């Protein structure tokens, strides 16, 4: 029996306090494929109360007991792996291969990284006659986005559990079905009553209520910078900790000594992955001015290899973007790029040919982009790459850092020492040299308006603990 119309609170699947539903749209068809219940303050109050009761005992669990729970969560997650991937494909339009190999895989990989992080985490240390202990912060409100639903759910739930916290999760109402399946995973894993709770709903009626709730000790939020500011302001009244992973406009510096064609092609692939809906996507490609036109040739050639279409078709590389709102925003920004004088290399306005419904965006490349143009300043969140020329390395670094964001940066060079030197100059939480593999043990988070705090492995556990100094402990 489907739990789509229920919430998971205090170990049970329950109906909302006030009946209200919201359709969940398949972005490939623009039609509803199911509906969820949406919550209210009464549901949040019930979930937070359950979490608060459970914290009194769960916070005392040993590391070994918490590790055993995480291992059970991983086992049950793997049992539902295909169901999770299918849900992601329908709720956000990810091609099935990508939903399996990236979206569902990310949840598994982060669970494994958290387990490894907890196995080596030091919860106490001696400093002379003082003992410093790290204790669970308390009840945590977790608010996750639609673009990498399992990645972000596991990146918050698993380290919170590892630290000994209890949680209330609000998945995105745009892509909520994978979150419901994850809640079924938690139930099957035998999570104690009240330790994990899930309430669906929108930002104002559920997310903000969670952020401002007096019995919530911490908020961990991933989403837009605009929404993150609202969450932080709401949380400020009760002086709770706020960890945020927000927007990005990441620069990809292709240095003159890079393997040029490969660097350009891989940069296009990195920007377009997940239909461009990744906060750390390399969306501003910086190339030497004297090779700018050459870069456009390679970028155009690569972009035009991307097959856009039905997420359930075997040859599809890019599915639709998630919603009408996102589609309209991307179209507005493509239009701004054209009007402001950037060179439209390929793609542009409207859907790809032969697609007359669904939120499909044409893979788009702009050249001759200046860093003061709208398409170089605003986060587009679609398959749109801006290519900017630079005259020398100093200017490239200056352009890369000239943004309100600081989530990620990319550097390409055949000389690793050169790439490392440039990486040190980047004002970003993550710098990726020569397109490395995804590392779930590296810290992930941003500078400036890209947020605060760090996720992944043991880095995330630190966000969910308080530090207590017991002075005079003795030898």
pLDDT tens digit sequence for 65-74? 999 999 999 9
pLDDT tens-digit profile of 410-435? 999 999 999 999 999 999 999 999 99
pLDDT over 90 (residue 273): yes
The catalytic residue among 91, 279, 302, 455 is 279
pLDDT over 80 (residue 1): no
Domains located in the chain, CATH noted: 7-246+450-470 (3.40.605.10), 251-445 (3.40.309.10)
The catalytic residue among 112, 245, 379, 455 is 245
Angle, CA 359 vertex, CA 354 and CA 361 arms, to 5°: 70
Q: Stretch 274-295: mean pLDDT, rounded?
A: 98
pLDDT tens-digit profile of 109-140? 999 999 999 999 999 999 999 999 999 999 99
Q: How far apart are CA 256 and CA 225, in angstroms?
A: 33
First to last CA, the chain: 58
Q: What tokens were used for 450?
A: 């890209």
pLDDT tens-digit profile of 172-206? 999 999 999 999 999 999 999 999 999 999 999 99
pLDDT tens-digit profile of 8-40? 999 999 999 999 999 999 999 999 999 999 999
Q: What tokens were used for 304?
A: 């035009």
pLDDT for 475: 82
Q: What is the pTM of this model?
A: 0.97
Percent of the chain with pLDDT over 70: 100
Burial of 468 (0-12, 13-18, 19+ CB in 10 A): exposed
Contact residues for 189 (Cβ-Cβ < 8 A; gap 6+):
69, 72, 73, 75, 76
Strands 21-26 and 31-37: antiparallel
Active site residue 395: no
């Amino acid at each position: 029996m489907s739990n789509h119309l229920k919430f998971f609170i205090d170990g049970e699947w329950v109906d909302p306090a006030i009946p209200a539903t919201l359709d969940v749209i398949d972005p490939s068809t623009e039609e509803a494929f199911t509906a969820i219940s949406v919550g209210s303050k009464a549901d949040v109050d019930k979930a937070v109360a359950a979490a608060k009761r459970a914290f009194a005992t769960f916070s005392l669990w040993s590391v070994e007991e918490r590790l055993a729970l995480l291992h059970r969560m991983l086992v049950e997650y793997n049992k539902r792996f295909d169901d999770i991937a299918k849900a992601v494909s329908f709720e956000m339009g990810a091609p099935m291969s990508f939903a399996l190999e990236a979206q569902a895989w990310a949840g598994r990989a982060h669970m494994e990284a958290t387990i490894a992080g907890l196995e080596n985490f030091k919860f106490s240390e001696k400093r002379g006659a003082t003992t410093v202990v790290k204790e669970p912060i308390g009840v945590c409100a977790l608010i996750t986005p639609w673009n990498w639903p399992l990645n972000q759910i596991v990146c918050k739930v698993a380290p919170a559990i590892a630290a000994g916290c209890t949680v209330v999760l609000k998945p995105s109402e745009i892509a909520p079905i994978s979150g419901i399946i994850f809640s079924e995973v938690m139930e099957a894993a035998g999570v104690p009553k009240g330790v994990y709770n899930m309430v669906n709903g929108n930002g104002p009626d559920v997310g903000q209520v969670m952020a401002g709730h007096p019995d919530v000790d911490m908020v961990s939020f991933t989403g837009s910078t605009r929404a993150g500011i609202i969450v932080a302001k709401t949380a400020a009244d009760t002086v709770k900790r706020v960890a945020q992973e927000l927007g990005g406009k990441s620069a990809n510096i292709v240095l003159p000594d890079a393997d040029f064609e490969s660097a350009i092609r891989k940069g296009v692939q990195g920007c377009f992955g997940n239909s461009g809906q990744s906060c750390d996507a390399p969306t501003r490609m910086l190339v030497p001015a004297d090779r700018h036109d050459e870069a456009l040739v390679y970028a155009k050639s690569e972009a035009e290899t991307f097959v856009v279409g039905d997420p359930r078709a075997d040859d599809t590389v890019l599915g639709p973007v998630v919603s009408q709102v996102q589609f309209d925003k991307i179209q507005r920004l493509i239009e701004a790029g054209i009007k402001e004088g950037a060179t439209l290399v390929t793609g542009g306005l409207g859907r790809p040919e032969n697609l007359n419904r669904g939120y499909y965006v044409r893979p788009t490349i702009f050249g001759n982009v200046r860093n003061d143009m709208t398409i170089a300043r605003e986060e587009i969140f679609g398959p749109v790459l801006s290519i900017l020329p630079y005259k020398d390395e100093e200017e490239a670094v200056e352009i890369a850092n000239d943004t309100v964001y600081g989530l990620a940066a990319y550097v390409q060079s055949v000389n690793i020492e050169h790439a490392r030197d440039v990486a040190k100059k980047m004002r970003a939480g993550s710098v990726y040299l020569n397109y490395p593999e995804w590392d779930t043990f590296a810290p992930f988070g941003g500078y400036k308006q890209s947020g605060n705090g760090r996720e992944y492995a043991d880095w995330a556990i630190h966000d969910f603990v308080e530090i207590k100094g017991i002075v005079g402990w003795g030898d």
